[in-house]
Chains A and B, each alone.
Chain A
């Protein structure tokens, strides 16, 4: 297992380096000159321009700029926002917990209901139940996030008044940030009203963000289950006299999980893309909204740093997925 782990981590390092190259190149690929962007394009004193170039290290050869960039990265320095003059890393660390909380909630929603729907559809294959579940999954998958979000806000928040429209917490609560995860922080504060408020705020965005992953998980679970249910060992399990539930949940599901875990891992990437929209719709103060704002303000260090961090997250999640494979499937754990 240790060997398996080291091997996986070994693969991650070049991937990460590749991303740094891309993020580094980004600043040089965008049209226009970063110095001009920063200083404004009109009437610049050439001496001041050269001085700024030098200060930003942009007059050095490209490879040296890259080495310097990597060196700064290793110290956790992702540059400073052009707009707020705050280090990018600090902004990220402040905002990331909100996105993390939203993504975890959305993923839990997607996995719990997606697995259940997929299992039921597979077991009731070809029946009205199967068709209904799969039809719903296809609809969910095809739904544009912003449209789905707005519909839910209109119906659930505005018309029914069940949930708040935006934000993470009602304004009356003042909760000191400990973990940055609002559910955890409100729980730590011991204020049950605040916890309920945080939960109410989280539900709709989590549903919106989790809908597409749910549909994908449901479809993948169904097809993986259908395949596994045909296997010889399922017949063996039944010949042992085990109950149907036990055969399905213990013998079939465990083996069907492999492809499902794979798509869950891949969905994390999709989800971060979805988070950009969802956070914008619900004014959720996370990195999705942060990145969109940065792009519209041409805050290049933020965009560059944000992309690097988001990409690192995706790499990390995929590493975790790889490790999970080893847990689920003994054949992978034992393979060299």
Chain B
């Protein structure tokens, strides 16, 4: 297993009233696999991956039973060893590419910084490699872009530069945190296409954090659905669209316009994700779940195996999308 996460929790704040942003997440990603992590804003998707990268700062606290990358234990690793992996073997791109590039340095300088840090490439060699990377991410007129500052680039162009930086050291795993959310619709498709083609050509695993199920349906092999800091369902991609096992997944699918053809109104899930102070004691979806019963509030459900999928529900949905009797 390339990335192996067991029982990962991230807590912010301390004292009497800490807030668990992520709790008990298990996630395995195999080499070359594309995994989609789906969920609403605030469901803990990004925080989970930032924690895996070691990018959660105090006062945030990360705990896990196990956290390893390519067989190496990330939990016990010294910061220096970890830094050698982060940015080289695991890299990450973010939602807002334009603000993710440092406005004070040129594109070339920022690219070459990664090369100098991890591959000890400097001077002309680094320059040549940076140019090659910009060409790989299909930036037109790459040579002149090396000297450009981020404010001179469009959003799509900035994301391409971020991707170039992320693949600079041929990573085994690329984490893309909503890479297309901030972009124009036409550019979104191009960036997704680029990511998938790079994933194939570099044979790297790709974790795609998104709230766009359509994107997941197109490219991912497997999906993990997160709700309020927990994984509520994981399933292989074709199945999850045909037979969601968790009511929340079902509701997410119903909110995709394509799934509601002919309906006069788009299906929506009533209510909002429970916040810090209104977490139900049993299943976290109870206040919003159309199938909720008394039993749901009694105990916090564990993930249970349903066919190929795992769902955190005491009565997972059957093949017809109805709660099992």
Contact = CB atoms under 8 A, between A and B. Distances in A.
Do A and B originate from a single complex? yes
B214 to A, nearest CB: 26
A233 B100 contact: yes
A10 B149 CA distance: 27
A237 B102 contact: yes
A231 B87 contact: no
Given A235-B94, A236-B94, A329-B104, A242 B117 contact: yes
A84 interface: no
Given A254-B104, A330-B149, A232 B94 contact: yes
Interface in A238-293: 238-243, 251, 254-255
A255 B150 CA distance: 13
Contact of A240 (B82, B94, B96, B117): B117
A240 B151 contact: no
A255 B86 contact: no
A100 B105 CA distance: 34
Contact of A242 (B87, B106, B152): B87
A331 interface: yes
B85 interface: yes
Interface in A301-329: 328-329
B165 interface: yes
A241 B151 CA distance: 24
Interface residues of B, number: 31
Given A241-B87, A241-B88, A232 B100 contact: yes
Given A233-B102, A255-B102, A239 B53 contact: yes
Given A233-B103, A240-B114, A243-B83, A330 B55 contact: no
B101 interface: yes
B53 A330 contact: no
Given A236-B102, A238-B86, A254-B104, 6 more contacts: A232-B96, A233-B103, A236-B165, A239-B53, A240-B114, A242-B83
A334 interface: yes
Given A232-B99, A233-B102, A255-B103, A239 B149 contact: no
Nearest to B50: A235
A248 to B, nearest CB: 12
Contacts of B82: 241
Interface string B162-176: 100100000000000
Contacts of B149: 330-331, 334
A334 B83 CA distance: 35
B113 interface: yes
B103 A240 contact: no
Nearest to A239: B92
Contacts of A331: 103, 149, 151
Interface string A220-238: 0000000000011101111
Contacts of B91: 239-240
B55 A239 contact: yes
A235 to B, nearest CB: 6
B102 A251 contact: yes
Given A232-B94, A334-B152, A241 B103 contact: no
Interface string A44-70: 000000000000000000000000000
30 contacts: A231-B99, A232-B96, A233-B99, A233-B102, A233-B103, A235-B94, A235-B100, A236-B100, A236-B101, A236-B162, A237-B102, A238-B55, A239-B53, A240-B86, A240-B87, A240-B117, A240-B165, A241-B82, A241-B84, A241-B85, A241-B87, A241-B118, A242-B87, A243-B83, A254-B102, A254-B104, A255-B104, A330-B103, A331-B149, A334-B152
Contacts of B102: 233, 236-237, 251, 254-255
Contacts of B96: 232
B104 A328 contact: yes
B130 to A, nearest CB: 14
Contacts of A237: 102
B84 A233 contact: no
Nearest to A331: B151
Contacts of B99: 231-233
B113 A240 contact: yes
A255 B105 CA distance: 10
Nearest to A233: B102
B96 to A, nearest CB: 6
A235 B55 contact: yes
A225 to B, nearest CB: 14
Contact of A330 (B50, B151, B162): B151
A241 B162 CA distance: 14
Interface string A151-169: 0000000000000000000
> Which of A236, A241, A243, A331 counts the most B-chain CB atoms under 10 A from its CB?
A241
A236 B110 CA distance: 10
Contacts of A334: 149, 151-152
Contacts of B118: 241
Contacts of B106: 330
Nearest to B149: A330
A313 B184 CA distance: 50
A123 to B, nearest CB: 11
Contacts of A235: 50, 55, 94, 100
A231 B88 CA distance: 22
A63 to B, nearest CB: 48
Nearest to B85: A241
Contacts of B94: 232, 235-236
A241 B55 CA distance: 10
A241 B101 contact: no
Contacts of B105: 254
A184 B50 CA distance: 53
B104 A330 contact: yes
A209 to B, nearest CB: 31
> Which of A239, A251, A255, A330 counts the most B-chain CB atoms under 10 A from its CB?
A239
A110 B61 CA distance: 37
